Amino acid sequence: MGGLRSTEADLWQPASTPQTILDLPDRLVIFKPPGWEVHSQHTELQLSSFLQATLGKRLAILHDEEHQCGFLHRLDVPSSGLVLAAKTYEAYYDLKVQLNSGEIARDYVILCHGWVRPCLKDIKAKVYWRGLLPTSAGDQGKPSLTRLKVTAHARHSSTALSLVVVRIATGRRHQIRSHFSHLGHPTVCDGKYTAEATFRSDQDICTRNFLHRYRLAFKDLAGKNHEVMMPVPADLMISLQRVTSRDIQSAETIRNWLGGSSLRSWQDYTPLILDFGRK
């Protein structure tokens, strides 16, 4: 084979800086830009280092690798979105209980290949991973559930695309990416779960994996509900501007995402209604 395969990391321009979106006394929500890793030391840009530099040495959990430096969950390096972290051990265990009992809502928007059937509601496929190898979805591994709502169909040149909002009921490594690849609808510009030719072609649509965690909902120590939402970043806005909607409902949905007026809880979205008489 001649040459080296492009990697996801090769595509990024200099990364923007993480932002603290919600800062509570014992927990906080941070925006992770693409190109940053939450915590693993596989890349230079570490969200854990950003928090340590921002909040200093006074918070011991931020330096405790056995407690994930306070982070409750991860988000793939090429993806963007909201990440929840604890400032204290008490908050960490409180949020762990919420996470394990399904009380923390994690909502995403993705652009994927093909026109996904709007009647599809769930992906139930076990996921298996080992080391740094891609996650495989199928009959082996841990039970995993991804809930989805197809909100728009579009095209880019001859490529059919779907804009899908997603809620994960389990948080496996690369769960969304591997589940949609397993269905035959991989996310756009995914360097791990698409063929080389597809990955290269997708770079005309998007410069990185089109996956954004736009919403987090959780409780504080007193049991008060908190909801944080963030529109898709500018690079994904550009990608949405490049596609052509398949129908009127899809056009309105994409226009709302571009205007930042489409942010709501996953369950409040209306799936696409297909008109079978159209071409």
Exposed/middle/buried for residue 41 (C-beta within 10 Å: 0-12, 13-18, 19+): exposed
Residue-level pLDDT at 39: 80
Residue-level pLDDT at 15: 52
Which residues are CB-contacts of 65 (< 8 A; sequence separation ≥ 6)?
39
Residue-level pLDDT at 141: 62
Q: Where are the domains of the chain?
A: 14-103, 105-216+231-268
Instruction: Give the C-alpha separation, 121 to 151, whole Å.
Output: 12
Q: Which one, of 145, 146, 151, lies nearest residue 164 by Cα?
A: 151
Could you read off the pLDDT tens digit of each residue along the chain, which spans 279 residues? Answer: 233 333 344 344 445 899 999 999 999 999 999 999 988 767 789 999 999 998 877 899 999 988 989 999 888 889 999 999 999 999 999 999 999 898 999 999 999 999 999 999 998 877 766 666 566 676 666 777 889 999 999 999 999 999 999 998 776 777 888 889 888 999 999 988 888 899 999 999 999 999 999 999 999 999 999 999 999 999 999 999 999 999 999 999 999 999 988 799 999 999 999 764 444
Please state, in angstroms and as integers, the Cα–Cα distance from residue 164 to each residue in 54, 78, 106, 132, 235, following that order: 34, 18, 14, 27, 18
CATH, domain 14-103, list 3.40.1410.10, 3.30.70.3420, 2.60.120.560, 3.30.2350.10: 3.30.2350.10
Residue-level pLDDT at 38: 87
Query: Do the first three CATH levels of 14-103 and 105-216+231-268 match, i.e. the same topology?
Result: yes
The class of domain 105-216+231-268 in CATH terms is: alpha beta
Beta strand ranges found along 98-255 (DSSP E): 105-113, 122-124, 126-128, 136-138, 145-156, 159-168, 211-219, 225-229, 244-245
Residue-level pLDDT at 194: 87
Q: Which one, of 165, 209, 188, 207, lies nearest residue 76 by Cα?
A: 209
Give the angle 202-135-128 at the CA atoms, nearest 5°.
155
